[in-house]
Amino acid sequence: MPDTRIILSAKRCYLESARFDRSGLKGRVATASFEAIDNGFIGARRSWSASASVLRTRGMITPECEVQIKLVERFGRYIANTDMHFGNLSFFWERLAGTLSLSFAPIYDMLPMLYAPEKSEIVERAFKPPQGAGDDIAAELARQFWSGVAARDDVSALFRGIAAANSALLVDR
């Protein structure tokens, strides 16, 4: 988990985190976005899960990595992340014996984008959780996420209410 800090201004709250693709003062860690990987080796960009299955079939990721990607994709849908494009997921990469090996980089930009302001204005939106998978661990993790947001005093009362309602939508899925 990278070092993080919250920065508050008069109108905004920011979460700053240390970059995972850096080493020391000037070093870089070999990373590539899912967009670059999909464009270079698959060319479909259908969904994170579909592309992960292709990468696993080709031996570029492990079965465990495929499971992680599918879990993160489902979790994102359960927390109303409407901005899960292929640029928002990355891999560490290395060449081993002439073969490209990918491993899952830390998650970033995973937040309930459904509620992002438009032109600095809050727009009321209704969350409709995905259907299916009642025993899905992603749904339980998302319920815990929403419950945690609902319990924070540094979140506005309005959004705490939204979070509590969203948590309730995920009970017994």
Is residue 83 annotated as part of the catalytic site, yes or no? yes
Per-residue confidence in pLDDT tens, the chain, 173 aa: 668 888 988 878 888 888 888 888 888 888 999 999 999 999 888 899 999 999 999 999 999 999 999 999 999 999 999 999 999 999 999 887 878 889 999 998 899 999 998 887 778 899 999 886 555 899 999 999 999 999 999 889 999 999 999 999 998 65
- CB neighbourhood size of 128 (10 A): 9
Answer for the pair 30, 22: CB distance below 8 angstroms, yes or no: no
Catalytic residue among 3, 21, 38, 83: 83
The pTM for the full model equals: 0.88
Buried-state track 67-93, b at ≥16 Cβ within 10 A, e below 16: ebbbebbbbbbbbbbeebebebbbbbb
